[in-house]
Structure 1
Amino acid sequence: MPGELINGNGEHVLLLAHGAGAPMDSPFMAMLAESLAKHDVKVVRFEFEYMQRRREDGKRRLPPKADKLLDEFRQKIEQYIDAEHLFIGGKSMGGRMASLVAASDSSIEGCVCFGYPFHPPGKPDRWRTDHFTDFSVPVMIQQGTRDPFGKQSEVLAHFDGKFPVALNWLEDGEHDFKPRKASGLDQHNLIEQAARSTADWMKSVAVG
């Protein structure tokens, strides 16, 4: 498996996967990991093989089929399975893969998705939520209210208020949690909100 980056030393461990087009050390992933570490979460960022190959030769690649990504995610879980409180999660595609694992693996304590890709942008008829009824562990989603992969209005209408997961809305955020200047907020504000909310949720799940 590719290398990893670790932030923090808390007893709650979060295996964090990257999105489809950005590596584990992207600015978003770095800010998120640092913010989570400040809230006593040990964050382990890792890369899928296709992204590691891009790092080595500079050639952009599309992600492989989900089955391969899921196999790699499960291999990483096995490396940390002895952690006292093991959670998994990811950004966008990485979060979706984590949620698919959470629908079949009860060895972890929970799953956190940052900017979940509910549907492709501009295609709100193609929802990626069929497995949401199969979760074997608690799941939380941190979502910007303007995220083109699932705006607040679209998600509320789709689930009709009957959410199978915990949802925390980040006001005016888009897919990378960037708000408009007029909101008076900035990306760091929203990432910090997401980190604090995630850490509190993880600790409550672990206690429960």
Structure 2
Amino acid sequence: MSEPLQKHGVRGQLHRPEGDPVAGLVLTHGAGSNCDTKLLQAVADGFVKRGVLVLRFDLPFRQRRESGPPHPSRAPEDREGVAEAVAVMRDFAPGPVWAGGHSYGGRQASMLAAERPGVVDALLLLSYPLHPPAKPENLRTDHLPNLHTPAVIVHGSKDPFATTDEIRSALELIPAAAILVEFEGARHDLAPDKFPVVDRAVAAMFGLR
């Protein structure tokens, strides 16, 4: 079960675990969706079962309009939206706060962490969009050498936004601990009803040091 939350410009759904939370997780969506996707709901449910308070939230570009992709010039506003969600979560969860999301949302969370070290305690990046499909030369790695936040990266071997080898090479740029969770045959949506995405993502996040 979840409850709607709208606070300080943050709009989403809050999932409460039984008892006091052991951590908080703010989780957001990709460029073509919102926080109600099957993947994000499944991930939220999985973390709640492990005692994590989870906030699924819509990025500012999605709050402005119900459909359509974000404009690159306004990406800093989406990163600020992640920062605001983290601040709201810290009001609820006294322990560590993690941030992440699917595709574009995860990328913005990782860029925020690189820009503001210490803003979150760990990252969960689901299907990181390393480059546009069929454009491997346009790598989105400039911020990775400045990323000092531990991260879990969940990747499907058939994701058109990166091959597994490309993801592995990118992770070598990150100076912090980075765990790759790969699913052979999974695509960009990660299909949580077909692959044990949730269980392995949860285990990896709790295994970060």
TM-score, normalised by the number of residues in structure 2: 0.81
Following the alignment from structure 1 to structure 2, what is the Cα–Cα distance between the partners of residues 108 and 95?
13
Hey, what does 1:3 align to over in structure 2? 11
Q: Counterpart of 1:168 in 2: which secondary structure? A: strand
Hey, what does 1:61 align to over in structure 2? 68
- Range with bigger deviation, 67-76 or 115-124: 67-76
Q: Which of the numbers 197, 200, 209 marks the counterpart of 1:197?
A: 200
| Contact 2:25/2:55 (8 A) holds in 1 | yes
Following the alignment from structure 1 to structure 2, what is the Cα–Cα distance between the partners of residues 122 and 105?
32
One-letter amino acid matched to 2:70: P
Q: Counterpart of 2:193 in 1: which secondary structure? A: helix
Alignment of 1:171 onto 2:184: yes
Root-mean-square deviation over aligned CA pairs: 2.0
Alignment of 1:151 onto 2:151: no
TM-score, normalised by the number of residues in structure 1: 0.82
Hey, what does 1:20 align to over in structure 2? 31
Following the alignment from structure 1 to structure 2, what is the Cα–Cα distance between the partners of residues 174 and 50?
25
Percentage identity across paired residues of the two chains: 28
Hey, what does 1:184 align to over in structure 2? none
Divergent runs of 4+, >6 A: none
Q: How does 1:182-193 map to 2 (within 5 A)?
A: 187-190=192-195, 193=196
How many pairs does the alignment contain?
190
Runs of at least 5 residues in structure 2 that lack an aligned partner in the other structure: 1-8
Q: Counterpart of 1:133 in 2: which secondary structure? A: helix
1:2: Cα distance to partner? 4.0
Q: Which of the numbers 71, 78, 81 marks the counterpart of 1:72?
A: 81
Q: Relative to total residues, which structure has the larger helix share, 1 or 2?
A: 1
1:114: Cα distance to partner? 0.5
Following the alignment from structure 2 to structure 1, what is the Cα–Cα distance between the partners of residues 45 and 207?
21
Hey, what does 1:123 align to over in structure 2? 135
| Contact 2:35/2:56 (8 A) holds in 1 | yes
Following the alignment from structure 1 to structure 2, what is the Cα–Cα distance between the partners of residues 73 and 132?
18
| Contact 1:12/1:203 (8 A) holds in 2 | no
Query: What is the CA deviation profile of residues 159-195 of structure 1, one whole-angstrom value per residue up to 9, with x for unaligned ones?
Result: 4x846322110121000014xxxxxxxx4142xx332
Alignment of 1:114 onto 2:126: yes
| Contact 1:39/1:195 (8 A) holds in 2 | no
Query: What is the CA deviation profile of residues 14-43 of structure 1, one whole-angstrom value per residue up to 9, with x for unaligned ones?
Result: 100111111111222222222332333322
